[in-house]
Every structure is written in C-alpha cells, then in structure tokens.
Structure 1
Amino acid sequence: MTAEFAVALPSVLLLLALLLAGSAAGVTQLRLEEAARAGARALARGEDAAAVDVIVRRLAGNAAASAVASDGGWLSVTVSARVPGAVGSLLPWTLSARAWVRGESSGPSAAAGVPSVWHHQVQGLAA
C-alpha cells in the first residue's frame, strides 16, 4: 500500500497544481474582461486615457497593462496581464481582453484626446 501511495501522490499533486492554475487563469480573465469593459465605458463618457488606465489598474490589478486605440468613431481598450501564481511565473502565460465602444459623438472629435494608439505598461510585466 505504501508503494501505491508513493506513486499516486505526485500525480495527485500535479493534477491539483493544474486545477489551481486553471482557476487562477479563469479569475484573471474575468478581471481583465471587466476592466476592459469599464475602460471602454469611461472612454465613451469622454474620459482621457490616463483616467482609463486608473480604472483598469483598479479592476485588473497593478500588474495589468492597458492600451487605448481609436479607429474613426470606435474606441477600444485592451487589457493584458500574466497569470498569477507559481505556474504563471514558470510559464509565460499572458491573457488579454478587449472592449470596443462607439464614441458619444460620431465626428472626428469623438476620439479627441485619445491618440490613435496609446499604450501603458506597468513595471514588472514582461511583454
């Protein structure tokens, strides 16, 4: 019985580690999606990219990177971050989420104050 336990224990621990890593990835993805949606809503209200970054970092965590882009009357916020935890530090597992929103006005001033592509990356997040 001891030999079977010694053989089965590493397999059980590996399965548990994979389940925990998958759970951490799922929670991280949900946080990124919510942060991208909130950032897009802020852009639609006329907030600037710096205010969007504050909102994104509040919701997705300080290790998140955000990028704001405009394409005509459409504005987008892309948020990305690495999966936390031991497995996330061993594997370069980066998740991202993007949300699009139409600006309040449809003219060229819809994206005024938002450059065509604006990136903000917090220190400690490898590209």
Structure 2
Amino acid sequence: MSSCRRSRTRRSDPGAVTVESALVIPALVLFLGALLCGLGAFATQSLCQDAARAGARAAARGEPADEVLRVARDIAPGHARVEIGRDGSLVRVGVSVPSWATGVLGLAVEGWAVAHVEPD
C-alpha cells in the first residue's frame, strides 16, 4: 500500500480581506452610531419623564407656575420645553425635546405627568 500525500496549497488572497473589510467596517460604524443615538434618545426620554413628574408634584402642592417651571427645568435637558396645564383638580405637566436635539434619528421625545391638586 502506498500512501499518497497530497500537498495542500494554501492560497492567500489579500484582496478579498480588503473588500470584506471595506464592506463590514462602515456597516458596523453605522450600526454603532444608530445604537448610540437610540440610547441617547432613551436617556433624554427618562429625563423628560422625571422632569414632568417633579413639575406635576410641585404643581399639585400648589407651587406658583414659576416655581413649577424651575423645578421641571432643573431636571430636564437644557433645550426642553415645559408645558403646564390644569383641568379641574388635575394638573398636567409636559416636557418635550425638539426632534433635532435627539440626534440623527430625529426622534421626538416627550414626557407627561398628571397629578391631583392637594387640598389646602
């Protein structure tokens, strides 16, 4: 029995690696950018919701509108808009951020809270 040894030739094609890298790296960078924008929008949403809750609590305690705005703006992102409304025994506070401020994805982010006005 004779043993045949096959010689394996190893082909190296550096051009294939370059093409694969040229396609994969931009896709990964784009995915990472979208992921970071999404996380930023999520963090901004949380800040807006927290600011709306704090503003609604302050309004429910009977604080003046200037104080309610100050409380909400202290927590909200710097470019947020705060709205205060009252409907009978309920106060509504909304905090919104323009879509341009949340990054490339252009997501509109807002948070709303409602509270009952506390009796005197």
TM-score, structure 1 length as denominator? Answer: 0.75
Amino-acid identity (%): 36
Counterparts of 2:57 and 2:103, CA distance in 1: 33
Residue 69 of structure 1 aligns to a residue in which SS? strand
Counterparts of 1:28 and 1:85, CA distance in 2: 8
Counterparts of 2:65 and 2:108, CA distance in 1: 22
Structure 1 runs (4+) greater than 2 angstroms displaced: 82-86
Runs of at least 5 residues in structure 2 that lack an aligned partner in the other structure: 1-16
Match of 2:31 in 1: 15
Structure 2 counterpart of 1:72, one-letter code = G
Match of 1:97 in 2: 111
Match of 1:24 in 2: 40
TM-score, structure 2 length as denominator? Answer: 0.79
Match of 1:71 in 2: 87
Match of 1:61 in 2: 77
Which of the pair has more CA radius of gyration? 2
Indicate how the Cα distance of structure 1 residues 86 and 80 shifts in structure 2: closer, same or farther if over 3 A, else same. closer
Question: What RMSD, in angstroms, separates the aligned Cα atoms of the two structures?
Answer: 1.6
Runs of at least 5 residues in structure 1 that lack an aligned partner in the other structure: 111-127
